[in-house]
Structure 1
């Protein structure tokens, strides 16, 4: 329904071989794209199963109401100019007009069904009919159009856009796509997540059905969050929080669209997860070295082959070839299919999956036929060993599309671009979420106040978190009079500062408070016994994210916390073993573990404090943030030396 955009929908359906009935509706034309047109919805032979609405936003509301009244199956609302343009009331009217009728959008391109040739899609696309493939779901129409243009052999079953998601949200639409048995995996481009618990539940169900989900999540920087908000009016959430949520939900996250396509290829062929023990084979020492270098930033490693593998590979390849992983097998066996298959199979048998670097020559200027025995050997090795074998082109253009399609059809996933392939392999190792895990409930943005440190320390003490002994006073004289009960050295802090060090409101190592001068701007004073030594200073913070609920951040703290930027984030609820595993992911974990014979930190104490404060945050919705920096961790215990706590205004 509409003008040129709606006419494009008809053309796209015909081009894709759609066999169903198509009914154009136009007030003045008797024919649209060679198809008889109807003047009004009331003139249609029956209520349509699905409708593309290509009229302006105000008329869209009326059309949706009319379709709902006649019992139509659903509609795509193409027009823009709703909540994303500062018109939330108009969008609310649209949802009300739809009633129980499903609508996608508004501000939405629609849906492509490559399985059945049905397209409610007003623009060009690069896909073709398939019998089985992945689904692509995006909050950006242009991004998903670009993805359909891929020439990497990825079979795409569905393309769907959410637009503003006024009625149908991310998890609901994703669930509908994954419910089709012909869909093998789901790839998402996400700007904002509207229902994190529902998405976590969907990911768990998808894993149970043997289907992986991989996501590119934008909105990690302030600029991209602003762009996301202006585009879809959805909350983007923080980058660390979103990464933590996706990991804990068992959703693979990648950084680029190329990695998205390659990860989907892995999921389509091999299911939602591959193992982490990898081998790499190539006929070049340069390629073997490059694999090792490019794999390191992804945390991928290549364990050495077993003694039995070494012996057998040495028998086939001869004494000149150094048996290692990555393996440079030279070219002594090039063109010898059986021996190449034997080498590939022997190496692959000791690992979870194998990378086979191979760049066939371009067919328009060269003869690639001499590479076919090696490609056939990869296919044969995978079939014989029963483990994934990935042909990897170091440059993406070195696998032409038809060759890639043929390999996927043979059950082998060719990966394009060496660095991209390694990123995809890392993403495909993402483990499942903990069964039943859902993020805690979220709260909207609220006005808050910062508790002074004395109030904050009382809260921590009540929660069972060790804090230094201290006294408070409204004036320097008052706190000095009380400080006699403390054991020096002492710390004197001015209250009322969020960041005391920058304000010059912290004085350390004092034997007495006599002779101390007033601190400009201080609203009171706190004197404490100084906590000396310790294995390390950590930052431990909890905050309410508007999208993901309560998040826990752990890292190396003190005055260099932002400089080190060595932190990990989890979304609550969490288990003790998950907190400890997160600590082990810190770059400076060896310092906690007892570096070079030094005493190790009491990691158990850190875990207990994290869990205790997590329970406090979940039990007290008024609390917005708790940050301990530093938490001085000793070989036996940990002490919260400084704290910043925010709570909602009543």
Structure 2
């Protein structure tokens, strides 16, 4: 049973407290048309927004389904306990000053723990929470204005910022919103559980998340799985950086695989579409509400302006959107309608010859919509209504509707400027099953996201246990550990007495590499010397190093390219695997790909193919290609160690790759210690 269903779909609402915020909740419930009972609890007031308050929670006629608690933080705990005792369906805790303010208020953590004890099994959202809006059923546990309207179906929005949530309700883009929910500090109930409740409503078509961090990785993974099962896509706009993911200053992996890369990798794995702005967030959700996931980003672009056609082509350049070439039959159909002067191409400038001719525009739009087109886009900017008229523009909309019906292919109406698609037109288009898109840049990104959303990569996510740093292994120790999981390493000897270097060199076999150990970024301080040919040169190199501990290693030859293979524990997103151009230029080249564990051979192959150095791996200008299978085996060996031992970080840099194999020339491990 969904424990939040009663809270989000209440038949009765109680407001605790008669202050300005609680009074506004009552006004908003009345304004939105809440059809159930509204009760107020206040110890002294005779009237709160026209309602006679009950003096105590115990005086309520029944246990309320949903409660807005608008009293101070200390009183909130007692109120929650009283509500839980009578079996209330759930509560919004508006007050702040709990764990989110622990740095400023000494008792913040203690008060939050007391709140959790008081709530018991009763759902509590917050504290420091604005509440939610249910535009499907007319519920507004919301202490402020909002800009939404009642709808029959729409998208659900969850935001970790109340102000962002308010702003999203003020959109004038025609996006039907079914729910808006804020989460506060998620003391008990997190966004993942709320998301599952909202997605379970058959009238919700998609879920949009404004994220500053994840509440719980395992719960978030389950939310994504629930979305896939229901066929309802998720779009996320994530901000913020995870300091924990940047902790390892001595490694390259941490700087390459910060939380932003981790978020990208996790969303890619889970089939969640990530967007870059609030505008694109809204446009993508609108496209998904009307059309759903597109599968491909093949577009037929149509406009009566060469400038607009050029803008579409330029904005899509370098992106995953493609404009398929027109077939011979399409060209024949278009030529019959447009005449001999119009240049036939995609994007199409159909000129103004057919402007005002609804039948000709219908024929043109239909001819462009071949089965290979995932989406048609008709560019149409409305004139200002306060100074102009637009009867001919309605004919274009009619033609789009007819062409969509004739071809069975979705067609969007795109205004190149956000301001030039009136809200009432956008709302009308949605009711007609036509997607209204506002702004070219936003539309391009929205189409890209809609084409890849719901496509999962790999099989599941390895959710790590709670781990804290334990110790940093020496290079020799790290290599030995990883060799036990199948990672090839050079022959080596560890030396703590310079007098034994010659013997170590003979044991390894000249030429050798000498490394000073216990030093971060050895190359920067001259603590790595390669190609040492004899014992005298070996001793001389050691004397010049700022250490008295050394690693004498086999000299790896026939190296085509150096790679970095790193795994870092990002507490928010799981284990992030980074594959990158390696060696001393790792951070300068910044040529990397990030994946969430676990990965398989196909994942690794695809990630390597996406690097800028991929041509070198494949054999550039006649050079021998690297042994790709050996690289894959090396990466999988590192993964095996990580899954078995849950460290904080592992880094191989460089992994020396050539036609005959892949060998780890350097290694770093920061081990992890589990804690609950």
Query: What is the TM-score normalised by the length of structure 1?
Result: 0.94
Pair 204,307 (structure 1): closer, same or farther in 2 beyond 3 Å: farther
The 3-state SS of whatever aligns with 2:430 is helix
Alignment of 1:471-482 (within 5 A): 471-482=493-504
Distance 1:45 1:334 in 2: 65
The alpha-carbon deviation at position 579 of structure 1 amounts to 2.0
Give yes or no for the alignment of 1:498 onto 2:520: yes
Moved more, 47-56 or 526-535: 526-535
The alpha-carbon deviation at position 79 of structure 1 amounts to 0.3
The alpha-carbon deviation at position 402 of structure 1 amounts to 0.4
Select 2:595's aligned residue among 565, 570, 574: 570
The alpha-carbon deviation at position 131 of structure 1 amounts to 1.1
Moved more, 449-458 or 511-520: 511-520
Distance 2:245 2:310 in 1: 36
Select 1:406's aligned residue among 423, 428, 445: 428
Partner of 2:134: 113
Cα RMSD for the two superposed structures: 2.2
Distance 1:434 1:301 in 2: 22
Distance 2:359 2:623 in 1: 55
Is the CA contact 2:63–2:86 (under 8 Å) kept in the aligned structure 1?
yes
The 3-state SS of whatever aligns with 1:627 is strand
Select 1:41's aligned residue among 57, 65, 68: 57
Q: 1:200-231, CA deviations, whole angstroms, 9 ceiling, x for partnerless residues?
A: 222222223221110111114769999xxxxx
The alpha-carbon deviation at position 445 of structure 1 amounts to 5.0
Pair 592,368 (structure 1): closer, same or farther in 2 beyond 3 Å: farther
Distance 2:243 2:573 in 1: 17
The alpha-carbon deviation at position 619 of structure 1 amounts to 0.8
Give yes or no for the alignment of 1:6 onto 2:22: yes
Give yes or no for the alignment of 1:154 onto 2:179: no
Partner of 2:551: 526
Pair 593,516 (structure 1): closer, same or farther in 2 beyond 3 Å: closer
Name structure 1 gaps, 5 residues minimum.
227-235
Q: 1:356-407, CA deviations, whole angstroms, 9 ceiling, x for partnerless residues?
A: 2221212221222222222222222222222221111111111010000000
Partner of 2:315: 294
The alpha-carbon deviation at position 433 of structure 1 amounts to 5.3
Is the CA contact 1:498–1:644 (under 8 Å) kept in the aligned structure 2?
no
Distance 1:305 1:533 in 2: 49
Partner of 2:48: 32
Partner of 1:453: 475
Give yes or no for the alignment of 1:59 onto 2:75: yes
Alignment of 1:409-424 (within 5 A): 409-424=431-446
Pair 512,380 (structure 1): closer, same or farther in 2 beyond 3 Å: farther
Distance 1:353 1:359 in 2: 19
Moved more, 260-269 or 346-355: 346-355
Distance 1:306 1:197 in 2: 48
Distance 2:340 2:508 in 1: 74
Alignment of 1:65-464 (within 5 A): 65-86=81-102, 87-220=108-241, 238-349=259-370, 350-432=372-454, 434=456, 437-444=459-466, 446-464=468-486
Is the CA contact 2:366–2:403 (under 8 Å) kept in the aligned structure 1?
yes
Is the CA contact 1:187–1:260 (under 8 Å) kept in the aligned structure 2?
yes
Tell me which stretches of 4 or more aligned residues in structure 1 moved more than 4 Å: 221-226, 433-436
Distance 1:338 1:431 in 2: 35
Distance 1:23 1:457 in 2: 67
Distance 2:673 2:411 in 1: 58
Pair 477,574 (structure 1): closer, same or farther in 2 beyond 3 Å: same
Is the CA contact 1:576–1:607 (under 8 Å) kept in the aligned structure 2?
yes
How many aligned residue pairs are there? 640
The 3-state SS of whatever aligns with 1:31 is coil
Pair 261,555 (structure 1): closer, same or farther in 2 beyond 3 Å: same
The alpha-carbon deviation at position 498 of structure 1 amounts to 2.4
Select 1:608's aligned residue among 633, 639, 645: 633
Give yes or no for the alignment of 1:630 onto 2:646: no
Q: 1:316-375, CA deviations, whole angstroms, 9 ceiling, x for partnerless residues?
A: 323332222222222222222222222211212131112222212122212222222222
Is the CA contact 2:526–2:545 (under 8 Å) kept in the aligned structure 1?
no
Distance 1:540 1:634 in 2: 15
Is the CA contact 1:468–1:641 (under 8 Å) kept in the aligned structure 2?
yes
Distance 1:323 1:628 in 2: 53
Select 2:571's aligned residue among 546, 549, 568: 546
Pair 372,476 (structure 1): closer, same or farther in 2 beyond 3 Å: farther
The 3-state SS of whatever aligns with 1:638 is strand
